[in-house]
């Protein structure tokens, strides 16, 4: 009986704890966390977060997702390659090869994360993100359009 109670308790804790070490690869597709009991925060919450893209060295860019405190995230772009720049991020293996994404490595509170990005062509690129404020609330629809006209000369599409 004791063994059954331990297994049941452990199973309940695991199934309700979310994904403290990062979103599953399937979240690349729809950017939706699959935490049990999680609800979408009001759309105005997207204004509390920003994606910023700035030029770096040798054709790379820095991408920052920041704003109000959050515990988890998925940041995705179609085209190019995202890479972790700090201990708070890790690569995801997106089922769709056109997409590249990163997620959190732990569920500590963050106000910003940094990644590097290398575009694979000229054109417009849409960065999209979902942040998890806590296990029961997440914000979807955070986005930033960025234009690369010349791989050596970046331009922000919203400027």
**DSSP secondary structure, 105-116, as one string:** SS-S-EEEEEEE
Top-level class of domain 2-155 = mainly beta
Per domain, the residue ranges of the chain are 2-155
CA 28 to centroid of chain Cα atoms? 9
pLDDT digits (tens, 9 = 90+) for 86-143: 787 889 998 888 899 999 899 899 999 999 999 999 999 999 999 998 878 889 899 9
141 within 8 A of 46, measured Cβ to Cβ: yes
Q: Is the dihedral of CA 147, 83, 120, 33 positive or negative?
A: negative
* Number of CB atoms found within 10 A of residue 114's CB: 15
Q: What's the pTM value of the predicted model, to 2 decimals?
A: 0.78
pLDDT digits (tens, 9 = 90+) for 23-77: 777 877 888 776 555 556 556 688 999 999 999 988 899 999 999 999 999 999 9
């Amino acid at each position: 009986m004791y063994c059954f109670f331990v297994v049941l308790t452990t199973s309940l804790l695991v199934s309700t704890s979310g994904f403290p070490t990062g979103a599953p690869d399937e979240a690349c597709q729809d950017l939706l966390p699959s935490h049990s009991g999680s609800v979408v925060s009001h759309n105005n919450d997207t204004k509390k977060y920003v994606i910023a893209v700035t030029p770096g060295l040798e054709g790379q860019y820095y991408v920052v997702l920041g704003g109000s405190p959050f515990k988890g995230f998925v940041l995705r772009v179609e085209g190019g390659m995202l890479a972790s720049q700090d201990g708070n991020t890790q690569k995801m293996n997106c089922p769709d090869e056109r997409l590249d994404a990163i997620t959190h490595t732990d569920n500590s509170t963050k106000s910003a994360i940094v990644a590097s990005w290398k575009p694979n062509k000229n054109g417009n690129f849409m960065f999209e993100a979902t942040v998890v404020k806590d296990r029961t609330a997440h914000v979807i629809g955070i986005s930033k359009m960025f234009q690369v006209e010349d791989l050596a000369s970046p331009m922000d599409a919203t400027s």
